[in-house]
Amino acid sequence: MAYLALIISFVTTILLTPAVKKIAVKIGAVDYPNQRKVHKKVMPRLGGLSIYISFVLWLIIFEPSNVYIWPLIVGGTIIMAVGLLDDLYELSAKVKLLGQLAAAVTVVLGGIQIDFINLPFDGKLEFGMWTIPITILWIVGVTNAINLIDGLDGLAAGVSAIALLTISGLAITMGNSLAIFAGLILLGSTLGFLVYNFHPAKIFLGDTGSLFLGFMISVLAILGFKNVTMFSIIVPMIILAIPISDTFFAMVRRLIQKKPISSPDKLHLHHCLIDLGYSHRSTVLIIYFLSALFGIAAIIFTKATLWISLVVLIALAVLIELIVEITGLIGKSYRPLLNLFSRVR
């Protein structure tokens, strides 16, 4: 049944997206080119609506009685509406944040929370009074991380699909019914949209899609990894390492430059790779590869012994640092690890 949900949602989104494209053009939900953007022509940007419709429709059909389904759908509807309004009217950062907080609070009040994290040797760290703020911070943080990488054709949708494939696969091994069905339905919907969104794109996700995908991935990570035996909060962080790292270093970069954290720039990972001479398509494929690598690392992490898991974490930390230095994600002069390697040679 789970794989049937994947196929049906895939087909549904393929059928819905052309209609959504027409609606986007008709109501003026389009993206105009400017100096910060890579595309050179006006593009419809309401694509996430087809993903949302397919997801909600099939989730209700396949998981109608689950206690978490309505908080998930209501929260997702709020975040989708915020994105849709932004695609139409370009909301301010404060208004978008308020909408994200409203969506996050909805699922938290519905019982979807990070109550604790599992530790090695059967330990457990209870969050107590910090449960709600930590959960909201996680949801809002991941939502914005996916939103911020939506800068090239197929990038955010593809990275989200890789994350959802990993989350769904791990959920299957753990027997988590809602995480399995929600993950696979959202994966199928995202892949169906990617048919139209991969370079050269015919339609963009828009904030309607990137905020919705980020929100849903953050919530599914909470639902799917509560019972992971080792460092449960680290597993989704590994899966989402590329968008989280890109967002984190964007914040660091802006603090160093004494700019507002929400100020836009053209120094995200995909911009840096293009500046290094990679083509649009090659840049997207490189980031897909890195996302898949971290997804595989997350799977190894959940199955490995404590010491191997620690080795995996150290290797991933070094890899992230090398990516930052090679691409100039913080700045062209920031190269401590590469300089160290040069001196050793």
Kindly give, in sequence order, each residue whose CB lies less than 8 Å from that of residue 154, ignoring residues fewer than 6 positions away.
194, 197, 198, 199, 201, 284
Widest CA span of the chain, in angstroms?
62
* Dihedral of alpha carbons 85, 91, 95, 97, sign: positive
Which residues of the chain register pLDDT less than 70?
34-40, 119-122, 226-232, 345
Give backbone dihedrals phi and psi of 248, rounded to 5 degrees, phi first: -60, -45
Query: What pLDDT score was predicted for residue 227?
Result: 54
Give backbone dihedrals phi and psi of 339, rounded to 5 degrees, phi first: -65, -40
Query: What pLDDT score was predicted for residue 226?
Result: 62
**Six token digits for residue 341:** 């390697």
**pTM of this prediction?**
0.93
Residue recorded with tokens 């800068």: 151
* Cβ proximity of 270 and 287 under 8 Å: yes
In angstroms, rounded to a whole number, what is the distance separating the alpha carbons of residues 94 and 270? 25
Query: What pLDDT score was predicted for residue 225?
Result: 72
In angstroms, rounded to a whole number, what is the distance separating the alpha carbons of residues 142 and 135? 11
Query: What pLDDT score was predicted for residue 53?
Result: 98
In angstroms, rounded to a whole number, what is the distance separating the alpha carbons of residues 149 and 269? 8
Query: What pLDDT score was predicted for residue 37?
Result: 58
Query: What pLDDT score was predicted for residue 122?
Result: 66
Kindly give, in sequence order, each residue whose CB lies less than 8 Å from that of residue 275, ignoring residues fewer than 6 positions away.
328
Query: What pLDDT score was predicted for residue 302?
Result: 83
* Cβ proximity of 205 and 157 under 8 Å: yes
In angstroms, rounded to a whole number, what is the distance separating the alpha carbons of residues 264 and 258? 13
Binding residues for Mg(2+): 147, 207
In angstroms, rounded to a whole number, what is the distance separating the alpha carbons of residues 297 and 129? 32
State how far Cα 147 lies from the chain centre: 7
* Cβ proximity of 201 and 43 under 8 Å: yes
Binding residues: 147, 207
Is the omega angle on the peptide bond into residue 200 within 30 degrees of 0, that is, cis?
yes
* Cβ proximity of 216 and 146 under 8 Å: no
Beta bridge partners of 103: none
